[in-house]
């Protein structure tokens, strides 16, 4: 007797970039996955509201109308985005490593409060995946660069303030263990200042940029120039699964995003 299964329904947007069509075709051998394409932002928004759709993907449609509509629909939620990068399965990388990079929108992460909210949401997401959240805070200089300029001083002090406030915030969260010694806690937070390379070497899985401008530059450097495998931007703060993708993505890039949407939907269905 065949074991019954839930068909995972994903709806993705089809704009001028047709790579999403080929990406969808390359996943046709997954028996419990159904991918539908819509050619308008309104069509994708309707799919987002449809409870029979397990996940939606921006694909190659324009972003602003979609995300603004989602924020209106989910007006009671605080919505943020974070890019999900995972080297597993990529032959160019000798070590498997996954992490969230945020903020990545140039108008995001403008102050300490926004970054605290984003860090908590990202930590909840990593914990939901069954992993230990490890948050790396970044700044615009090394710790001993204090005094080199007012801008650097402001960034360094801001990162240290964020570190202290994050420690206090996590102390009040029930889903994180705050009674154990640091080495055995189910999360960790460290200020790496400007040392992004050290945070990556240490395997921290949440990279918190100084602001959305620097996060966007890091995204473009790692993903667009250095070809680190991005799976798209996960939308945090809502129960629905919405993956934001670039209109200029490759077939392989869209395929990765569809796979992420599928895996998150499977996790949610089986939760």
CA-based R_g, the chain, Å: 19
Residue 247's φ and ψ, nearest 5 degrees, are -70, -15
pTM: 0.89
Average pLDDT score over the chain: 91
Q: Is the pLDDT of residue 258 over 80?
A: yes
Q: How far apart are CA 164 and CA 189, in angstroms?
A: 10
Q: Which neighbouring-strand residues pair with 147?
A: none
pLDDT tens digits, residue range 41-55? Answer: 999 999 999 999 999
Query: In the predicted model, what is the mean pLDDT of residues 99-122?
Result: 92
pLDDT of residue 17 exceeding 60: yes
Identify the band that residue 254 occupies on the pLDDT scale cut at 50, 70 and 90.
very high
Q: What is the DSSP string of 207-220?
A: EE-SSHHHHHHHHI
Helical H segments across 104-149, by residue range: 112-128
Residue 255 has, within 13 A of its CA and on its CB side, a CA count of 13
Render pLDDT for 157-177 as a digit per residue (tens, 0 to 9): 999 999 999 999 988 888 887
Q: Cβ of 121: how many Cβ atoms within 10 Å?
A: 23
Is the predicted pLDDT of residue 94 greater than 90, yes or no?
A: no
Among 77-81, 183-187, 211-215, which stretch is predicted with the lowest mean pLDDT? 183-187
């Amino acid at each position: 007797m065949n074991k019954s299964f839930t068909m995972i329904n994903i709806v993705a947007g089809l704009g001028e970039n047709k790579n999403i069509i080929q990406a969808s075709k390359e996943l046709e051998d997954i028996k419990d996955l159904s991918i539908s394409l819509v050619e308008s932002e309104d069509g994708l928004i309707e799919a987002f509201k449809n409870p029979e759709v397990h996940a939606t993907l921006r694909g190659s449609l324009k972003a602003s109308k979609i995300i603004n509509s989602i924020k209106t629909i989910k007006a009671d939620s605080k919505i943020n985005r974070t890019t999900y990068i995972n080297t597993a399965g990529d032959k160019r990388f000798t070590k498997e490593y996954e992490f969230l990079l945020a903020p990545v929108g140039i108008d995001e992460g403008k102050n300490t409060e926004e970054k605290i909210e984003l860090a908590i949401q990202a930590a909840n997401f990593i914990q939901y995946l069954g992993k230990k959240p490890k948050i790396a805070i970044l700044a615009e200089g090394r710790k001993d660069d204090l005094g080199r300029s007012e801008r650097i001083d402001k960034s360094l002090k801001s990162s240290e303030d964020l570190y202290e406030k994050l420690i206090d915030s996590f102390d009040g969260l029930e889903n994180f263990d705050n009674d154990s010694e640091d080495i055995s806690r189910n999360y960790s937070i460290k200020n790496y200042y400007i040392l992004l390379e050290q945070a990556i070497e240490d395997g921290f899985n949440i990279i918190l940029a100084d602001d959305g401008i620097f996060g966007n530059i890091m995204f473009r450097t790692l993903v667009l120039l250095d070809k680190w495998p991005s799976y798209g931007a996960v939308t945090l703060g809502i129960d629905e699964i919405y993956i934001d993708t670039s209109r200029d993505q490759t077939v392989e890039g869209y395929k990765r995003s569809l796979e992420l949407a599928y895996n998150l939907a499977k996790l949610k269905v089986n939760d």
